[in-house]
Amino acid sequence: MIARYHLRDRAASHGGWTLLAAAMLLWIGAVPATGQVAADAAASDPVAAAMRPTSPGRASELHKGLFLVASRSLMDPNFQETVILLVDHGADGTLGLVINRPTDIPFTEALPEVEALQKLKDTVYVGGPVARYLISLLVRADHSPADTVQVFDSVYFSHKLAALLHVLEKPQAGVTMRAYVGHAGWAAGQLDMEIQRGDWHLASADADAIFDTPAGQVWPTLIDRLDPHLLQARR
């Protein structure tokens, strides 16, 4: 079952890309199968060009709870200077959320019919180029919130409206939430190829980077740690 909510016509610009605010959906049913998400990604957003080869990580190491950190040479505007949290990975493909592209669109404007949102001052993030009519949630909590799945440690993921309402209607100390419009997805083997080509570095995910670090500092901090040779050359 799907709940439909409508956002007033407007556009939010950030770093050269534009989010057209249109009809947005929150899934009330189960989280979509990774294979379907990955198939949508492969059909709608192929990588624009091959990048210079590096050795950022081994594709065999992929699993949910990792950060994909865009290499310095990755020029695809959908992913340039992004950090992506992998929230699901399996034989059918991979699903992730870009964590460092905020918008100026208030969450309350995205879902004006949900009264529980009216007190929130949070804005939505662009989670990726696929299905920007879908909202995903990342929640940091000491326990497993209802209608979510654990990604790593204290970080949980959901597409469900019930999860959002549970967090809002029963607020607890220490619980933090982020909302993302769209997501990133790869068909089986696609992300492995991009990693081998040198498009991505792999790093263990960190909740502070998702919820506490200013978005503009996330990629520079991680890339200088993972690929420091250019930093050393500048010195």
pTM over 0.85: no
Q: How far is CA 29 from CA 32, 159, 162, 205, in A?
A: 8, 8, 9, 27
Give the domains, in start order, of the chain with CATH numbers. Answer: 54-228 (3.40.1740.10)
Cα 141 from chain centroid (whole Å): 18
Per-chain mean pLDDT for the chain: 77
pLDDT surpasses 80 at 212: yes
Which stretch of 26-35, 40-49, 72-81, 113-122 has the lowest confidence by average pLDDT?
40-49
pLDDT, tens only, 136-187: 999 999 999 999 999 999 999 999 888 988 888 777 788 999 999 999 999 9
Q: What's 26-91 look like in SS3?
A: EECCCCCCHHHHHHHHHHHCCCCCCCCCCCCCCHHHCCCCEEEEECCCCCCCCCCCCEEEEEEEEC
Average pLDDT over every residue of 83-100: 97
- Could you tell me which residues are beta bridge partners of residue 156? 139, 150
Position 69 pLDDT exceeds 50 = yes
**What's the Cα-to-Cα distance from 175 to each of 140, 143, 154, 155, rounded to whole Å?**
6, 9, 10, 10
Q: What's the CA gap between 73 and 50, in Å, rounded? A: 10
Q: Strand 93-98 relative to strand 66-70: parallel, antiparallel, unpaired?
A: unpaired
